[in-house]
Amino acid sequence: MKIYTALEEIERPFNRPALTIGNFDGVHLGHQALFKKVVELAEKRGGDKVALTFHPHPMKVLRPENPPKLICTLEQKVELIMEAGIEHLVCLPFTREFAKTSATEFVENILYDTIGVDDLVVGYDYACGRGREGDIKFLKTMGEKLGFHVHVIPPVKIDGIIVSSTAIREFVKKGDMTMVRKMLGRFYQIRGVVKKGKRRGGPVVGFPTANLSINPEDLCPKPGVYAVQVIHGEKLYNGVVNIGFNPTFGDGKLGAEVHIFNFDKDIYGHEIKVNVVERIRDEKRFSGPKELAKQIKKDIERAQEILNSLNLQ
Which residue type does 165 have? S
Of 108-112, 204-208, 211-215, 240-244, minimum mean pLDDT range = 204-208
CB contact burial 191-230 (16+ within 10 A = b; e otherwise): ebebeebeebbeeebebbbbbbebeeeebbbbbbbbbbbb
Which residue type does 266 have? D
Position 311 scores a pLDDT of 66
The domains of the chain are located at 2-158, 188-312
Q: Give the model's confidence band at 187: pLDDT under 50 very low, under 70 low, under 90 confident, else very high.
A: very high
Of 15-24, 194-203, 229-238, minimum mean pLDDT range = 194-203
pLDDT digits (tens, 9 = 90+) for 5-63: 999 999 999 999 999 999 999 999 999 999 999 999 999 999 999 999 999 999 999 99
Predicted TM-score (pTM) of the model is 0.92
107 touches 148 (CB < 8 A):
no
What is the rounded distance in angstroms from the CA atom of residue 156 to the CA atom of residue 135?
Answer: 19
pLDDT digits (tens, 9 = 90+) for 147-173: 999 999 999 999 999 999 999 999 999
pLDDT digits (tens, 9 = 90+) for 132-143: 999 999 999 999
Position 107 scores a pLDDT of 98
Looking at domain 188-312, its CATH class is: mainly beta
Rounded to an integer, what is the distance from CA 280 to the centroid of its chain?
22
pLDDT at 217 > cutoff 80: no
Q: Give the model's confidence band at 213: pLDDT under 50 very low, under 70 low, under 90 confident, else very high.
A: confident
Mean pLDDT, residues 202-214 taken together: 73
Position 198 scores a pLDDT of 56
Per cent of the chain over pLDDT 90 is: 81
18 touches 47 (CB < 8 A):
yes
pLDDT at 1 > cutoff 50: yes
Q: SS in 3 state form for 102-114?
A: CHHHHHHHHHHHH
The DSSP H or E segment spanning 152 is strand 149-153
Helix, coil or strand: residue 277: strand
Reported as half-sphere exposure (CB side, CA atoms, 13 A), residue 127 has a value of 10
What is the rounded distance in angstroms from the CA atom of residue 101 to the CA atom of residue 96?
Answer: 9
C-alpha triplet 294, 275, 156: angle, nearest 5°: 130
pLDDT digits (tens, 9 = 90+) for 271-303: 999 999 999 999 887 767 788 889 999 999 999
What is the rounded distance in angstroms from the CA atom of residue 275 to the CA atom of residue 232?
Answer: 11
Position 199 scores a pLDDT of 52
Distance (Å) of CA 266 to CA 26, 76, 156, 259: 31, 25, 43, 13
What is the rounded distance in angstroms from the CA atom of residue 123 to the CA atom of residue 60?
Answer: 22
Q: Give the model's confidence band at 89: pLDDT under 50 very low, under 70 low, under 90 confident, else very high.
A: very high
Distance (Å) of CA 108 to CA 22, 103, 151, 177, 289: 17, 9, 18, 42, 65
Looking at domain 2-158, its CATH class is: alpha beta
Same fold for the pair 2-158 and 188-312: no
